[in-house]
Amino acid sequence: MNTTRISRSALQKAAGFGLLITLCFIWTAQSADRSDAEQDYTARRNQMVALQIEARGIRDAKVLDAMKKVRRHDFVPEALRGRAYDDHPLPIGEGQTISQPYIVALMTAAIQPRPDMKVLEIGTGSGYQAAVLAELCRDVYTIEIVESLGRRAEKLLARLYPNVRLRIGDGYLGWPEAAPFDAILVTCAPTKVPEPLADQLAEGGRMVIPVGESWVQELCVLVKKNGRLEKQAAIGVRFVPMVDPRGRKY
Ligand code: SAH
């Protein structure tokens, strides 16, 4: 009797131990899977920077570093994560898109970011461009007109970047209480430069903005000199239109 009892409890112990080992194994395998996926994202991000951005002529090392650092896959819908590092824009819901990585880098480089700068972004969307700016500039203000997108980006950005402030509202009007801004970056296209944004740009400040009719615009780089905006460069691009709260195009 005694022997049976002993061996039964020994058996139970052994079974418990076996279960523990199995659970440990599953846990280790899962975290190994997760870190494999992380490494894969990091490798793809480095490749994105080398092939899509550096190879196309963007040389600002700080901008390249920020693009290597920000986890773009966190900013795209879960179902599209596998395509986060591809060379094109992706849908983020509500008919909006996260811009192509190259365009994000180009616009960021165009404002010539420095650590002491206060910048304004219009069109938060996914929050990705704001995150890249937050890596490079002291203060980032960003405005999104679609509430659901703004709330989602706010959650993500609040966790990662205490230097980002987000407002849900009409970016056409800018953020007058926080003006003047050293740079303004607009990621939706009005048909002409909004007056309030021109007013809120500091003397010597740079604005990068797509201007034009639906779907075909010029990405303009403007510099404020003696109170007036001077155009420095422009390339053809395609952004979603800037709209007012009733959805009409500006
Ligand atoms: N910068 C974004 C991409 C933005 S797509 C990113 O990194 O993901 C352009 C965004 O501009 C859309 O989310 C759209 O809702 C927003 N938008 C359009 N008109 C606007 C306005 N008047 N004010 C603020 N945001 C606006």
DSSP string covering 210-225, please? EEEETTEEEEEEEEEE
Dist CA 70 CA 148 (whole Å): 22
Residues with CB under 6 Å of ligand 1 are 96-99, 122-123, 125-126, 128-129, 143-146, 149, 170-172, 187-188, 240, 242-243
- pLDDT tens profile 36-56: 788 899 999 999 999 999 999
User: pTM score > 0.85 for this model?
Assistant: yes
Q: Is residue 45 part of a domain?
A: no
pLDDT at residue 141, as a whole number:
99
User: What residues make up the domain containing 101?
Assistant: 88-237
Q: Which residue has the tokens 């430069």?
A: 193
pLDDT at residue 23, as a whole number:
53
Record the tokens describing residue 155, joined without a space: 């959650």
Record the tokens describing residue 218, joined without a space: 């010029």
Q: Is residue 119 part of a domain?
A: yes
Q: Is residue 12 part of a domain?
A: no
Q: Is residue 116 part of a domain?
A: yes
The CA dihedral of 14, 16, 22, 28, to the nearest 10 degrees, is -120
Q: Is residue 109 part of a domain?
A: yes
Residues serving a catalytic function are 99
Q: Is residue 81 part of a domain?
A: no
pLDDT at residue 38, as a whole number:
80
**Sites in the chain below the pLDDT cut of 70:** 1-35
Looking at the 3D structure of the chain, how many domains does it have? 1
CATH at residue 116? 3.40.50.150
Record the tokens describing residue 114, joined without a space: 């420095």
Give me ligand 1 centre to Cα 28, in Å.
41
Q: Point out the ligand 1 atom lying closest to the alpha carbon of residue 94.
A: 15
CB atoms within 10 A of CB 29: 10
Q: Is residue 219 part of a domain?
A: yes
Q: Is residue 161 part of a domain?
A: yes
